[in-house]
Structure 1
Amino acid sequence: MYTTASVFFKTLADAGITHAFVNWGSDHPAFLEDLRRQQVENDGKTLLEIVTCPSEFVALSAAQGYAQVTGRPAVVIVHVDVGTQSLAGAVHNADRGQAPVLIFAGASPFSASGEFKGSRNEFMMWHQDAHDQPAIVRQYMRYTAQIQSGKIASKQILRALQIATSEPKGPVYLWARREATEEDVDETAMRTVVPRWPAVTMQALSSHAVHSITSALLDAEFPLIVTANAGRNPATVPLLSQLSSKLAIGVLSVAPSALSFPGNHPYFLGNIFIGKLPHLEDADVVVLLDVDVPWADATDNEPRKDARIFVVDTDPLKRTFGWSHVDAEMLCAADAETALTQLLGALETPEVDFAAVQAKLQVRRNRLDKAHEERLATLRAAETRLAPDGHTLSVPFILGALRDAASAGTASRGEKVIWLNEAASCSALIWNHIAATQPGSMFMSGGTALGWVLGASIGASIGARVDGTGTELVVGITGDGNFLFGAPTATYWIARRYGTPFLMVVLNNRGWASPKLSMQGVYPSGIGSHASGEKLSVGFGETHNADFGGIAAAAGGAWARKVERGEEVKSVFEEAIKVVLLERRCAVVECVIESI
């Protein structure tokens, strides 16, 4: 016997989906029955690998991490309106992070007297019958639709996946009443191979745009490229590196969600998250390449009055933002990989006389070389220093030791490590000190709902395994507040159950620094500007901290250590990495830093 649920699983498998992160409920009898059918008929195997998740937030975070690493969509299945609500801030992250994820939720049956298979038979089905269930998430979705029959389910699923994987990529939401998922379907439907529906091919730059941008870059005294998200497509990273090297263009990364430029490139000017952008006021040409918010005007960021500004983005108007604007000469809706290929190609034409601009390019190279050396010297000096009191750990000190331990402890010398960064106020420090170099090697959520990093570590581990690219180690770096947001008990249970070991480094400043920093930004001399985090109700205090490693150990058998002294850091990281690599279990290292 086959049902709409059978069609659901088969369509996803035919479309290349490999994993579903699930939290089952009373709306899923047909799905559970069909999974058992698959096991019986296929020597215990199911069409999709099912990852049972005791937290819907973790499920969607894991699906996003999987999509970020593989570039392919994953599926999340949740329970009616309450499961949809429990996706929580992970919905925001999947939207802003442009993660191609298909979310499916069942819904309360519409019949109540046994008129259909699947009619209401439990009391809570009246409570769970929301007037407009998709409205819970609709404004964050690229597409929402109700599956009303198994006869059309395949087409609706394929349309949802097609939209999710077309730029700007993002989450989609399908839902169905229980009667629809329980509907019997003909066996012939299960024998038909469902063809995949391709994503939309993104447009290229117009010839006018190519000429305008290349001419401006060649003529500029000090051009600058500002990016953030181009590295969501790893193929863009070497192209942007080539363009920067060829024309001596400095590159800034502003609030990145993926590594878009190698951290060791001589023309890299750093990662910025808040405040004044270095070099912006000097640039006479600025290209904004797949960047959500290139700068905040209120923090003394203003390009030169005569600067020529070009925007190249999959969505240059940022249509999903309530407000966004950049005064630009040209807004170009284009794929970053295609646009960079076009610009590099234009530089190889006979019309470009490189001999005529060699002197100018050399001046630019000299300036960038000097900025690069000064930046590296500042970073390395910071890594040698503890906090001002002389004994408390500083974040740069921790990160330098962690980077070196990952390099020494892996066969690839750190080249095949995936880094997941979610430490809010320390995010820029993590990007700059870890200085990852490989495309697809560092990610953030792309949104602002904290807690992503724990579930994403599971998804990244599974994604790396599916991709088969030889990833050796997954490392997450987070804060103590973020760790608690991430539903750690559910995360570490899942990690042990499904064999996804990772190292989690917790920077413990005993609270949430970001709200305090935001307050100080508005009230720099206010009466709260020098108050402790605990006085401001954003601190956890010195004596009420959670046992972060203990939580992970209790929930998932993780190895855990707490570090407070500088001489301990190196050896603890080395041991933690061995635990992950050799024992194949999670490790948590809590690093105590200055209290907020």
Structure 2
Amino acid sequence: MYTTASVLFKTFAEAGITHAFVNWGNDHPAFLEELERERVESGKTAVEIVTCPHEMVALSAAQGYAQVTGKPAAVIVHVDVGTQGLAGAIHNVDRGRTPVLIFAGAAPQSSDRRLKGTKNEWPMWLQDVPDQPSIVRQYMRFTAQIQSGKNAAKMVMRALQIAKSEPQGPVYLWARRETTEEEVDPEIFEENLDITKWPAVQAPALPPKVVSTIVDALLQAQFPLIIAANSGRNPKTVPLLSTLSSILAIGVFTSCPSAACIPWSHPNYIGLSFGGRNDLLDHADVIIILDVDIPWIDTAGNKPRDDARVFVIDADPLKTTFGWSHVDAELLAKADPEVALSQLIEAIEGPNIQGPAFAEKLSARKERLASLRSAWTNSLDAAERVETLASDLTTPTVPFILATLRNAVVTQTPSKGEKVLWVNEAISNYPLAWTYLRPEHPGSMIASGATSLGYALGASVGASLGNIVAQTQHDLVAAIVGDGVFMFSVPASAYWMARRYNTPFLTVVLNNGGWFSPKFSMLGVYPDGHGSTVSGQQLTVGLGPDMPDYSQVAVAAGGAWGRRVENADELQSVLEEAVRVVVQEKRSAVVDCIIQSI
């Protein structure tokens, strides 16, 4: 016997979905029965099921999986409460432009015993809400109700087609229990959709006039600058941006990045900011904003020169889903970064850059970029050599911790650190994680691309599964989180999953005893106010650091290895052992690093 649930799993598999991250409920009998039918008849299920004890972790895992593989995963949740349990991860996959297919069951609409799947348990009356998809609709690229098994396959394909078209993002399908229990004739189930007939929309290109305008501006500029953030979500853009920067000696600055957009070691990579002061804007006469959500923050004293020529290249240059966003620009271009970079490189290769006049300009640009790069990296190198706080000769500094971690990974992994995937949710220490872990390769560092805390642990599980599917050959997945993030991440569920599905990862907790971000926000408005000199505990944003013992949460929930580090002298040996445990013993490891308290 086949049901609508049979059709859904079959279509998922045919469309290339390999994993479904699930949290089952009373709306899923047909799914559980279908999975067992598949096991009985073929020895395995069409889609690998990853049981997730919390929906937030399920969607975060699906996001990490999609970021590594470039392909959607499925998430299956339970009625309205399961949809709500997806929590802030909904925001993350939306703003992070991650293609994920979410399917939610819904309460039966009947209590008639003649209908299979009708209401027969007391929670089903309470779960029958007027508009279940409205919970998530404003974050979705597409929402739809499946009303019959006969067209369920086409509904799935339409949803995936939209999810994979730019700007990519999540989609939400739902069906009542009577629908998922609907029996489907074998000929309906066995129908094969031609998946090649459901392509994503072709990535848009720059119009020829726009290409020539930007190229002419770059050739004439004295100090051109490219600001990037999200282009590296497509790993193919990384060598393209590197090439364009090298050919014309263009500086690259990353603003609130969510992925590695250019190799850390590239000589023209000259800065990074998460909303702080960008002094380069005072000098750049041509600026390309390449797939960036926040290129600068005006109130932080950032403003391009009045005579600067500003060009925006983005899948959504107007940021139409933001309540407010604006950049004073000469030109806004809706284009795919990979396509646009290829066009610009092709347009400048040739006679445009021949001749002594341009050679002299190019030489001057290179010299200026070398000076800026040297000043930036020298300041970073100096900071990472400072082991402890001046006021406390035992507590390690964050740059020292991250540099020690970087070196431990080099000594303890087979690839000498070349095949490590960093999952960055350090939040108030975001920029330090980027600058001291120094991601070099496309796809070597990922972040949620958004602001809802609790992404990293689930994403590390999903990324590990994606590593297997995509054969990316990462020999270590390492998450960098704050102590607040660790709490938000539903750690018991995440480490249980890591052990259950053999996806061990390293977690380094930068433990400042609470949530610094709310205090930082307060100081931004009241720098000399009553709260400016009091502790995090007094401000009610404190968590510890004495409790909880984060590493032991992971030990209890998932058999992990865990240590707390309070002294800089013991940091290197503990981090090296933690990396060894993950790489050789295939167990998760958590290092709880006590840093300066808020």
TM tier, smaller: over 0.9
1:168 deviates by 0.3
Trace 1:135-214 onto structure 2 (pairs within 5 A): 135-196=134-195, 197-214=198-215
2:419/2:475 contact within 8 Å kept: yes
Residue of structure 2 equivalent to 1:528: 531
Residue of structure 2 equivalent to 1:303: 304
Residue type at the aligned position of 1:276: R
Q: Helix, strand or coil: the match of 2:587?
A: coil
Task: Tell me if 1:71 matches 2:70.
Answer: yes
1:352 deviates by 4.4
Task: Tell me if 1:124 matches 2:117.
Answer: no
Cα distance in 2 for partners of 1:211, 1:564 equals 57
Residue of structure 1 equivalent to 2:2: 2
Cα distance in 2 for partners of 1:373, 1:436 equals 18
Trace 1:151-550 onto structure 2 (pairs within 5 A): 151-196=150-195, 197-385=198-386, 386-389=388-391, 390-543=393-546, 545-550=547-552
1:349 deviates by 3.5
1:150/1:180 contact within 8 Å kept: yes
Cα distance in 2 for partners of 1:387, 1:490 equals 35
Residue of structure 2 equivalent to 1:41: 41
- Using the aligned pairs only, state the percent identity: 59
Cα distance in 2 for partners of 1:526, 1:554 equals 42
Q: Helix, strand or coil: the match of 1:76?
A: strand
Q: Helix, strand or coil: the match of 1:59?
A: helix
Residue of structure 1 equivalent to 2:15: 15
2:398/2:595 contact within 8 Å kept: yes
Q: Deviations over 1:493-540 (max 9, x none)?
A: 111000000000000000001110111011111111111111111112
Cα distance in 2 for partners of 1:30, 1:67 equals 27
Cα distance in 1 for partners of 2:64, 2:540 equals 32
- 505-514 or 520-529: bigger deviation: 520-529
1:15/1:194 contact within 8 Å kept: no
Residue type at the aligned position of 1:583: E
1:101/1:164 contact within 8 Å kept: yes
Task: Tell me if 1:579 matches 2:595.
Answer: no
Q: Aligned pair count?
A: 594
Structure-2 change in CA distance of 1:487 and 1:354 (3 Å): farther
Cα distance in 2 for partners of 1:192, 1:355 equals 66
1:195 deviates by 2.1
Task: Could you tell me which runs of 5 or more consecutive residues in structure 2 were left unpaired when the two chains were aligned.
Answer: none
Residue type at the aligned position of 1:268: Y
Cα distance in 2 for partners of 1:352, 1:343 equals 13
Residue of structure 1 equivalent to 2:57: 58
1:186 deviates by 1.1
Q: Which residue of 562, 565, 584 maps to 1:563? A: 565
2:545/2:594 contact within 8 Å kept: no
1:42 deviates by 1.0
1:505/1:589 contact within 8 Å kept: yes
Residue of structure 1 equivalent to 2:83: 84
Q: Deviations over 1:414-443 (max 9, x none)?
A: 111000000110000000111111000101
1:411 deviates by 2.1
Cα distance in 2 for partners of 1:353, 1:338 equals 25
Residue type at the aligned position of 1:530: T
1:351 deviates by 4.5
1:221/1:284 contact within 8 Å kept: yes
Cα distance in 1 for partners of 2:311, 2:545 equals 49
Q: Helix, strand or coil: the match of 2:417?
A: coil
Q: Helix, strand or coil: the match of 1:210?
A: helix
Residue type at the aligned position of 1:387: L
1:455 deviates by 0.3
Q: Helix, strand or coil: the match of 2:351?
A: coil
- Aligned residues: CA RMSD: 0.9
1:233 deviates by 0.3
Q: Deviations over 1:358-378 (max 9, x none)?
A: 111111111110111111111
Residue of structure 2 equivalent to 1:133: 132
Cα distance in 2 for partners of 1:354, 1:193 equals 59
Residue type at the aligned position of 2:136: V
Residue type at the aligned position of 1:572: V
Cα distance in 1 for partners of 2:69, 2:26 equals 32
Q: Helix, strand or coil: the match of 1:449?
A: coil
Cα distance in 2 for partners of 1:354, 1:168 equals 41
Cα distance in 2 for partners of 1:431, 1:270 equals 11
Task: Tell me if 1:115 matches 2:114.
Answer: yes
Residue type at the aligned position of 2:180: T
Stretches of 4+ moved more than 6 A in 1? none
Cα distance in 2 for partners of 1:352, 1:563 equals 54
Please report the TM-score for the alignment, with normalisation by the length of structure 1: 0.99
Cα distance in 1 for partners of 2:412, 2:373 equals 28
1:508/1:591 contact within 8 Å kept: yes
1:533/1:539 contact within 8 Å kept: yes
Cα distance in 2 for partners of 1:127, 1:74 equals 30
Cα distance in 2 for partners of 1:348, 1:367 equals 23
Cα distance in 2 for partners of 1:548, 1:284 equals 48
Residue type at the aligned position of 2:562: A
Cα distance in 2 for partners of 1:54, 1:565 equals 35
Residue type at the aligned position of 2:49: I
1:409 deviates by 1.4
Residue type at the aligned position of 2:151: I
Q: Helix, strand or coil: the match of 2:394?
A: coil
Residue type at the aligned position of 1:205: L
Cα distance in 2 for partners of 1:65, 1:298 equals 33
Cα distance in 2 for partners of 1:153, 1:58 equals 27
Cα distance in 1 for partners of 2:80, 2:242 equals 46
1:354 deviates by 4.9
Cα distance in 1 for partners of 2:560, 2:188 equals 45
Cα distance in 1 for partners of 2:533, 2:362 equals 48
1:67/1:99 contact within 8 Å kept: yes
Cα distance in 1 for partners of 2:553, 2:238 equals 38
Residue type at the aligned position of 1:227: A
2:514/2:545 contact within 8 Å kept: no
Cα distance in 2 for partners of 1:567, 1:78 equals 46
Q: Helix, strand or coil: the match of 2:443?
A: coil
Cα distance in 1 for partners of 2:414, 2:491 equals 30
Cα distance in 2 for partners of 1:68, 1:270 equals 24
Residue type at the aligned position of 1:273: F
Residue type at the aligned position of 1:184: E
